[in-house]
Amino acid sequence: MTVKPHADLTPDVAPVREGEDLDWPALDAYLREQMPDLDGPFSVFQFPRGSANLTYRVTFGDRHLVVRRPPLGQVAAAAHDMAREHRVLSRLHAVYPRAPRAYLHCADTSVVGAEFFVSEYRSGHVVWDRVPAEVSTDADASIRIGLAVIDALAELHDVDPASCDLQDLGRPDGFLQRQVDGWRRRWAAVADQSMLDDAVRTRVLVEEVGARLARELPAAQRVGIVHNDFKIDNCQFADGDPDHVAAVFDWDMATLGDSLADLGTLLNYWPDHTLGADDPEAFVAASATRALDLPDRRTVIERYASTSSLDLTDIAWYEAFGCWRTVVILQQLYARAVRGESVDPRMLQRGEMVAPLARRALMLLGGQV
């Protein structure tokens, strides 16, 4: 494996973390066999900021590709679905240009220890705790980026799944019920894997929220492609253009279902700076973007509503569901660290956010904490 000098790094990649190397010679040989147009020396860096799937930029000469595989260790059933992500991205790009094109999927786990897929690499900037100067130095850049993300979500929901041969991506009938049931099962699988003092109280709280969500399911209004983890730091912006999302990443949970589930997820990750720092409602999911001066959540809802015919009366349920689902995901990440399956030091910190987010989900449902 060739490692380029650090001067060649772009802001989105870094040297591979210790313990997350793959069998690079095997990957090199496999990709050259499957994609005969590849030429030149092989090198690899890692996209370091994701929380679960391992994602790498591999380079052959001057050509960059993205290789993505599930995390190390025990993986929840139906999670980190590389075949699904490849299927979506090999088709969706034709009608939704923000979706990077996928080239191939490898189900042979002997190559790098797990299935993986390969997609195009897009150069640009993911916005985290600040707006990169390359995207914009304007005072209102954060506002414009926030509005662009909402518009990108609304445009995804306008895509006809049949237009890109994704009409059988999922089973939209009973989508919300299956989602709640499935995430309750995932929680049960990791609920007792905790080293925190409030683990018992937290488990009771999380299960109460799940039960309430199941009892109060809203009626779905429209079926569309659901990204299932749509947030600012899954979006990429090009140099000098804060008004347009150039790419959207992380499609391994994409399916067909109730479009408002995506809006609830986005709201869950969206800070509201009109609230005081001590207001429990101000506590949102783990995201560096909480430091940005974004529009408040009411503006998010109004912007989405301006291009949609959907009734948003029940949006608090969808936000609570997005918040509660994030609780389960954080517990899964934390449990992986407790089991010693992750070398990423951030994962142990994920457990500290489970209880506060569960309380917020309950409040969104009108419950008392």
Q: 185: which 2 tokens?
A: 């099962």
pLDDT value for 10: 57
Q: Which percentage of the chain shows pLDDT scores above 90? A: 72
pLDDT at 350: 87
Q: Nearest-CA neighbor of 158 among 224, 253, 226, 247?
A: 224
Sheet of strand 42-46, all strands in order from the earlier edge strand to the far edge: 42-46, 54-60, 63-69, 116-120, 102-106
Q: What is the mean pLDDT of the chain?
A: 90
Q: What is the pLDDT of residue 9?
A: 46
Express as a percent the part of the chain with pLDDT over 70.
Answer: 89
pLDDT of residue 351: 87
Give helix then strand counts, H and E, for the chain. 10, 10
CATH class of 6-121: alpha beta
Q: What are phi and psi of 276, to 5 degrees?
A: -70, 155
Confidence category of residue 336, pLDDT binned at 50, 70, 90: confident
A 10 A CB-CB count for 34 gives 12
Of 306, 243, 293, 297, the residue nearest 270 (C-alpha): 297
Structure tokens belonging to residue 276: 């005081």
Assign domain 126-364 to its CATH superfamily. Answer: Aminoglycoside phosphotransferase (APH), C-terminal lobe (3.90.1200.10)
Between 1 and 252, whose confidence is greater?
Answer: 252
The per-residue pLDDT for range 178-225, each reduced to its tens digit, is 999 999 999 999 999 988 888 999 999 999 999 999 999 999 898 999
**Residue owning tokens 């010679």:** 25
| Residues contacting 264, CB < 8 A, separation 6+ | 315, 317, 318, 319, 320, 321, 322
Q: What is the DSSP letter of 346?
A: T
What is the band of 5 on the pLDDT scale with cuts at 50, 70, 90? Answer: very low
Domain positions in the chain: 6-121, 126-364
Q: What is the pTM of this model?
A: 0.89
- Can 6-121 and 126-364 be said to share one CATH topology? no
